[in-house]
Structure formats: structure tokens, C-alpha cells
Chains A and B, each alone.
Chain A
């Protein structure tokens, strides 16, 4: 009997511990319930659904747009905040918080703000908020570079609804930069009161206001009733963090979420074949490339770089690695970027020509080299295929997979031979997509990890940056892209595509090429 009692004590301890473990998580549970709860209970209401659940691959880092520049945060911030001007899905600049603007001179633009715009805390938008926001942005180490051309000392508030911004020198892509999600206009009072925790209690002017955040799990936004524009059709939007790609697709299939961002290429057919779902495909601003270290032998010889471009069968890479998603790149910019040169001749797969060029360069017998990549499955796959294909021109390649931090450091220091990386031209302006990558002033950490430079390209990029006439700018950029294509500091690899899986009853959703999609006009049928 006595022994039995001890066993009983032991078992009850285990039980109590289990109960404690389960019980102490209850509070977090309560907050986790909204949004996820109704996902398994099919709504039996007859009325149209008004709550949208979006699944994306990571939680937002912070909702203070000046403290981060990552995609998951931008996607949420985009619904809460607005910018002075906006870029629509076709990358046309549209009025947003500024209803009109005009150039005063080469470096100064005057913006007239829309009147009667309310922040989520009830404050009215004033020019002083705009000035405060831009000064704060300039001071941010995370996004300062996006507005770095603006001269903080020359911001002039004319009256409550008029403000003048000046750049240090003429800067053509200013409006595109002001449309960046990082340039969301914030309320001075809310930011000051929020202090260090502002990122957890964001206040904007957008169609949705922040409601609740279960860290690591979900963010809930609700409709802002006093929105100055057309009110949102949805009452609530929940962003769920579902990191695993396959899980996100499954959650979409089982009806747990209404929109799944970033459907992986492997799941494309699953979504396409499901009659309840729609796969939305739209070209994105992202591009992948294989860069050479143009200051290292043998890549300092343009013939070697060209030979490798000819020796790689890009179509098979797109098919094998990206399963047909996206397209082979002809040059450094995609078709939806302003002045993206689509008339460039693709290198194409031509081993004979590659061999000729290698022989010309004195490398008929090839050489040993390495190709670097970080732990990104697609890049590792590309590296392996390239390793295989380069054997045809006697290049013996070693694939080196590196951890992201070490990879960035190594490529910035120029320790590499070849490397695989990507770029997103978020502003849709060629300045963003070319300057950092090909200008000689940007060697290393600036973005130009190929250490390739060309005087004419430098000249063109500098000129286009200050040129305000769009047709002239286009001319400069087209010429620069031709030189880059011929000089081949990259193997032009892949132009990306945004893939979103959407429930059939979700209407009004369109994807923005930069990846931060607006949910303002979304509704249920």
C-alpha cells in the first residue's frame, strides 16, 4: 500500500507538471485566438466574409518603418501607412498624401498636402509631420540611404499643407524614392509618445489601423473608419507568420488562410490544379545573377566572362531550379523597371563559341575556380548545375556554400572568384538597380561585388541620376545596359516573378512588383 502511494505521488507530480506547463501558456493563447480561431470553424453566416487572413513567410520585425527595411514588415506597414506619393502596380507615380507637386528648380519640389487627413490617433496630418518624418528617416541607419539625397537642412514648411523638399544635387528618381514604403509619413506626437516601443504601436494614415500583435505568430489590423480616401471593404486583416513554404500552401488549400504570399515553384501546380484557388503570377523586381570578381585573374579578361555566359544553359536552369517560374534575364534589369532594356541580345547557350573565346583568352585548357553561394537552396542548385556545365569548357569549379553573414563579408572584401546573389530594384527606377551594382564608387559593401568598372558606365549613371528629362535618362540607361551586357560582369541569370495563391472568392487583389501588395481594395465575393 505504501509503495503504491509513492507511485501515485510520482504520477500526480508528472500530471501536475503537465497541467502547469499547459496551463501557464493560457494567456498567450487567448491573444493568439483571434484570427486563427475562425480558421477551422467554417463560417456558417450567410453574409459576405469581411475578414482576410494572409500568410507570409516571416513575422514583421517592427512596424516602425525607419527601423527596418525587410519585406515582411513592409507588407504590413503598407496597409497602415501612406507615403507622400505612391507608385501603382504599373509603377506610375500617383498622388497619395500629397495631392499635387511641382518642381521649383532643379533641386527643389513643392508638395501640397491633402487636407483633412486623419492619423489613427485622431491627429490631423500637417506639413510639420512630413518634415519630422523625413528628418527622422535621414537619421536612420536602416533606411537613411533611401532618402539620403534630400538635404535635411533645406526642408521648408510653407504652411500647414505645403512643404518644399530640396536635394543636395539634382536627383531624378526623388519621387520614386518618396514612394518607398520606408518613407511612410508618421505622426510626430505618436512617435514621440511611443518612444522605444513605437514599433509595437504604429500610427499611420492608411486604410487599416493596427490592432493586435501576437509576436512571432500574427498581426491583426482593423479598418480605419475615418480614412480620408475610399474606405476599405474589409473589416479586419490578419497577417499570419507561416515560415515553411509547404505549410503555407497547405494552409491555403485547407482554407486556413485566404491569400498565401510567395508560393514556392514546387507548389505551383498544386495551387493551379485546385479549383478553389487562383494562382496570381506577376513579374517582380527581383533578379538573380552570377557575378565574377573582375579584378581577379582570369575574370579580368572580358572573353572569359563572355565565354562563361555562353557556356551556361540558362533555360535549363530556369526549368530545373525555378520550375518555369520567372524568365531568363537578358541584362541587369527586368522588363517592368523603367528603361529596362528588353532589346538586349541574350547570350544563349553556345558551347562552341565559348570554347573559341576561351582559346582566344589563352585558356583553352581551362582553369580551376570556385563559385560561392549562401545556404539558399535555389542558389546552391544553380551552383551545382553551373559546375557541371562549365566542365564542357574545361573549367573545374568548386562549389563553396557559406553562411549568409560570412558570405556578405567575403564577397564585399573581394575574396571570391564567382558568386551567386540577387537584387531587388524596389523603387522600380534604374538608378536603384544599376548605380549600386555597377558604379565604381560602390565597390564592395556599396553593392558592386564584382569590382568591375567602366568609365563610360560611370559617366552615364552619374548623368542619368541628375537628368530630369525622362527620355534622356532612358537613353543613358539603355546605353549603360548595352555596355554592361557586352562587358559581362555578370552571368545574367533570372528575372523573378511574384506568386500568390488566392482563394477564389477573394477579389480585388493585385500584386505590386516590389512585393508589398496593397490590400485596400480587396473584398470577398
Chain B
């Protein structure tokens, strides 16, 4: 198991190298001169040329890329933001907690609501509860994030005054964004749990358990749920990774200073160091979340554990 984890962590190195190269290339060949974008349309050409020189933007692609990799590997320095001149690492680490918290709360909402709803739906298939839950899940998946965010804000902050409308400082501030970001994932988790559960409760060993006279709640919670959880864990893990990288809309609507917004602003400003740093950071986090999911499999299914060598 330890060897497996170590091997997986080693695999992060080629992943990071690949991501670095791809993003650097894409940013380099995207039309639009970073210096011109930073200075705006009103700045004279001479100033733009000067800034290009200062940032070393006139060098050929390979030299720029080489310099980036050299600084990153040898000096552990991934640069400073072109616009704010703050170190990239600091810029990302000050913003990452908000994004992590938002994603974690979103996953919490989706798991806390999604799994129980999925289980009940499966055990009471075609009941009113099941039908209502599935319709709600469909709405949850289809509802655009930004619209839902604005609506919840309108209802719960403006009309009812229960929660503050934006910011992310106190637990009261967390509720609306967490629900907004968690809704779609919650719907996916519900549907996944339900279908996986439905498959499992038709298995022979469940029938055997029933025949032995086992209490229904134990059959569901102990025998069925554990086997039904594997695909659900996969989905939750993917959702968590997705929320980390895709929290941008929720962050924007609720004015949460997270990595998603930082990245979008950086792309628009062609702030290459921030984009590179941000993508690397998200790629690494995503890989680690995936690794955690794989480790979790082993706990749920001993057969998988035996394969981790």
C-alpha cells in the first residue's frame, strides 16, 4: 500500500511537467500581447515595448519556457504576478483556503443530502418519495449555478434577511454559497447512489441475508450500502476536484476571494505566472484528491486493496 502511494506520488512529476508545457504553450500562442493588455488601449507603444522588455516577452518560446522551468526547479521560484507584482505562491495560497472550504462544504452538502436520499429512493423505488427526489435531482442538475445563486440570494438575503448576501467570513456567510455549489453535485450523487443501490439490492447475497432473517435496516446499511458506495466515492471524488477548479461562478456571485476568480482574471490579463501557478496547483490538488479516492476504495473493498502493490 505504501509503495503504491509512493508510486502514485512519483507520477505527479510527469503530470506537472506535462501540465506546465501545455499551459505555457497555450498561453504563449494565445493572441493578444500581455504588455498591451496590462497597459490598456490608451498607453503609447513605447511604454508597451518597454514593458515587454522588462518581462522578457520578446524572447523566443523555448527560452521563455526554459527560464520558467529553470527558475521553478532550481530556485523553487515560480515568479511574481505580472500585474500585482506579488509572488505567485503567496497569491495562490492566500486564496486557496476559500476555494478549498467552498468545495469541501459543497461536497459535504452533496454527500449529506445525496447519499441518504439515494438510498431511500432505491429502497422505495417508484414510490412518491422516489419520484419527487428524482424530479428534484433532475432540476438540480439542470439549474444553472449563477441563476440559482442569485435566486437564493434574493430570497434568503433580500426578502427573508436570514443570511448575508456576499462575503465568506463567518459560518453564516458559508450557507448560501455551499448550497449553491453543492446542489448540482448533490443531484448527481443522489442519482448515482440510487442506481448503484438498485443494482446491489437485487444481488443474491442480499436475498440470502433476508432469508437468514436479518433486519432490513442492517441489510441496507451494512450489506448493500458498502458495495454500492464504490461508484459513489468515484463520483464524489471527481465532483470535489471539479468544484475546486470550477467554483468560479459561485465565487464571483458571492464575492468569495478564491482561486477560480484569480485564475479567470489572470487569463484575461494574460498574467502568465499566475495562470501557470494556478493550473499547476489545481492539477496537483486534483491528483491528490484522486489518490485519496483510490485509497478509500481499499477501505471499502478489500479485493481492491490486495491489488495495491
Interface residues of A (CB under 8 A from B): 3-4, 6-7, 9-10, 13-14, 17-18, 21-22, 24-29, 32-33, 36-37, 39-40, 58-59, 61-62, 64, 67-70, 141-142, 144-145, 148, 196-197, 199-200, 214-217, 240-244, 246-247, 250-251, 253-254, 256, 403-406, 408-410, 412, 421, 423-424, 436, 444-447, 449
A145 to B47, CA, bound (A): 7
B-chain residues with CB within 8 Å of residue A242 when the two chains form the complex: 166, 255
Smallest CB separation, B216 vs chain A (Å) = 16
* Known A142-B39, A216-B95: A243·B261 in contact at CB below 8 Å: yes
B300 touches A6 (CB 8 A): yes
In angstroms, Cα B261 to Cα A160, docked, is: 46
A403 touching B51 by the CB < 8 A rule?
Answer: no
| Min distance, Cβ B304 to any Cβ of chain A, angstroms | 13
Q: B257, A241: Cβ atoms under 8 Å?
A: yes
Contact: B47 with A142, CB < 8 Å?
yes
A21 in complex: contacting residue of B38, B44, B95, B100, CB < 8 Å: B100
Least distance between B109 CB and chain A CB atoms (Å): 11
B48 interfacial by beta-carbon distance below 8 Å: yes
One of A3, A141, A244, A254 near B47 (C-beta < 8 A): A141
A33-B169, A446-B45 in contact; A39/B164 too (CB < 8 A)? yes
A238–chain B nearest beta-carbon distance, Å: 11
Pairwise interchain contact B32-A40, C-beta atoms closer than 8 A: no
Q: How far is the CB of A71 from chain B (nearest CB, A)?
A: 10
A251-B47 contact given A217-B257, A244-B253, CB 8 Å threshold: no
Take A404-B37, A404-B268, A406-B31 as given contacts and tell me if A247 and B166 are in contact as well, using a CB distance cutoff of 8 Å: yes
Q: List 7 A-B contacts (CB under 8 A).
A: A36-B167, A145-B47, A250-B153, A406-B31, A409-B32, A424-B42, A436-B42
Q: Are A25 and B101 in contact (CB under 8 A)?
A: yes
**Contact A247 to B257, CB < 8 A, known contacts A68-B83, A254-B157, A405-B33:** no
B85, A144: Cβ atoms closer than 8 Å: no
Q: Is the Cβ of B31 less than 8 Å from the Cβ of A250?
A: no
> Are B100 and A406 interface neighbours, CB within 8 A?
no
Smallest beta-carbon distance B237→chain A, Å: 11
Q: What are the residues of chain A within 8 A of B153 when measuring CB–CB?
A: 247, 250
**Residues on the A chain within 8 Å of B253, using CB:** 244, 247
By beta carbon, the residue of chain B nearest A67 is B85
> Does A254 contact B100, Cβ atoms closer than 8 Å?
no
- Give complex CA distance A257, B107 in Å: 30
Alpha-carbon distance A138/B95, docked complex (angstroms): 34
Q: Collect the chain B residues with CB atoms within 8 Å of residue A68's CB.
A: 83
- The CA-CA distance from A10 to B172 in the complex, in Å, is 28
Q: Which residues of A contact B268 (CB under 8 A)?
A: 404
Residue of A nearest to B34 (CB): A405
Report B187-245 residues with CB < 8 Å from chain A CB. 222, 225-226, 229
- CA distance in complex: A142, B32 (Å): 17
**Is B262 an interface residue, CB under 8 A from the partner?**
yes
Q: Residue-by-residue, is B17-55 near A (CB-CB < 8 Å gives 1, otherwise 0)? A: 000000000000011111111111111111110110010
Contact flag A409-B257 (CB < 8 Å), given A9-B299, A256-B166 = no
Q: What residues on B are CB-neighbors of A148 within 8 Å?
A: 44
- CB of A423 within 8 A of CB of B165, answer no
B197 to chain A, nearest CB (A): 15
Contact of A215 with B94 in the complex, beta carbons under 8 Å? yes
Count contacts between A and B, CB distance < 8 Å.
Answer: 199
Whether the Cβ atoms of A408 and B51 lie closer than 8 Å is no
Also in contact, A13 and B300, with CB within 8 A (given A61-B84, A243-B255, A256-B165): no
Q: Which residue of B43, B100, B165 is within 8 Å of A247 (Cβ)?
A: B165
Chain A min CB distance to B272 (Å): 12
Chain B residues proximal to chain A, CB less than 8 Å: 30-48, 50-51, 54, 80, 83-86, 91, 94-95, 97-98, 100-101, 103-105, 107-108, 111, 150, 153-154, 157-158, 161, 164-170, 172-173, 222, 225-226, 229, 252-255, 257-258, 261-262, 265, 268, 270, 292, 296, 299-300
Closest CB in chain B relative to A455 CB, distance in Å: 22
For the complex of A and B, the 9 pairs showing the least CB-CB separation, nearest first, are A405-B32, A216-B257, A25-B97, A21-B104, A141-B51, A406-B31, A217-B257, A141-B50, A242-B255
Give min CB distance, B167 to chain A, whole Å: 4
Find chain B residues with CB under 8 A from A37 CB: 169-170
A215 interface neighbour in B38, B50, B86, B173, Cβ under 8 Å: B86
Residues of A within 8 A of B261 (CB): 216, 243
Residue in B85, B157, B170 whose CB lies within 8 Å of A196 = B85
Q: A142-B47, A247-B253, A446-B45 are in contact. List 10 more A-B contacts (CB 8 A).
A: A3-B226, A6-B299, A33-B169, A141-B51, A148-B44, A216-B94, A216-B261, A405-B32, A406-B30, A436-B42
- The chain A residue with its CB closest to the CB of B30 is A405
Contacts of B165 in A (CB 8 A): 247, 250-251, 254, 256
CA distance in complex: A253, B165 (Å): 10
A403 touches B31 (CB 8 A): yes
A102 vs chain B, min Cβ distance (A): 30
Q: How far is the CB of B74 from chain A (nearest CB, A)?
A: 20
List the A residue with the shortest CB-CB distance to B53: A141
Residue with the greatest number of chain A CB neighbours at <10 A, chosen from B44, B46, B107, B255: B255
Q: Which residues of A contact B31 (CB under 8 A)?
A: 403, 405-406, 409-410
Give Cα distance in the complex from A421 to B42, angstroms. Answer: 11
Chain A residues positioned under 8 Å from B95 (CB to CB): 215-216
Query: What residues of B have a CB within 8 angstroms of the CB of A436 in the complex?
Result: 42, 44
Closest residue of B by beta carbon distance from A243: B252
Q: A18-B104, A254-B158 are in contact. Are A25 and B222 (CB under 8 A)?
A: no
Task: Name the residue in A3, A69, A244 with the highest tally of chain B Cβ atoms < 10 Å from its Cβ.
Answer: A244
Query: Which residue of the partner chain B has the closest CB to A69?
Result: B40
Point out the residues of chain A lying under 8 angstroms from B101, CB to CB.
21-22, 25
Assembly CA distance A199 to B81 (angstroms): 12
A256 near B167 with CB under 8 A, answer: yes
Q: Is the beta-carbon distance between A40 and B255 smaller than 8 angstroms?
A: no
* B42 in complex: contacting residue of A17, A216, A241, A447, CB < 8 Å: A447
Given contacts A37-B169, A199-B84, A408 and B41 within 8 Å (CB-CB):
yes
Beyond A6-B299, A246-B150, A421-B41, is A240–B104 a contact (Cβ under 8 Å)? no
- A10 and B37 contact, Cβ closer than 8 Å, known pairs A141-B51, A215-B86: no
Q: Contact at A61–B257, with CB atoms within 8 Å?
A: no
Known: A145-B47, A247-B166, A250-B153. A404 touches B32 (CB 8 A): yes
- B40 / chain A contacts, CB cutoff of 8 Å: 69-70
The residue on A at minimum CB distance from B105 is A22
Q: Please indicate the chain A residues that have their CB under 8 angstroms from the CB of B35 in the complex.
A: 141
Q: Let me know if B164 and A408 touch, CB within 8 A.
A: no
Given A61-B84, A406-B32, answer yes or no on A40-B172 (Cβ-Cβ < 8 Å).
yes
Residue of A nearest to B99 (CB): A25
* CA–CA, A142 and B86, complex, Å: 16
The answer, among A17, A256, A410, for a CB contact under 8 Å with B164, is A256
Q: A25-B98, A217-B257 are in contact. Are A141 and B252 (CB under 8 A)?
A: no
By a CB distance below 8 angstroms, the chain A residues around B44 are 145, 148, 436, 445-446
Closest to B39 in A: A142
Contact B111 A28 (CB under 8 A): no
Residues of chain A lying within 8 A (CB to CB) of residue B42: 423-424, 436, 447
A196 to B46, CA, bound (A): 23
Q: Which of B84, B167, B170, B270 contacts A62 (CB 8 A)?
A: B84
* A10: B residues at CB distance < 8 A: 229, 296, 299-300
Complex contact B32–A253 (CB within 8 A):
no
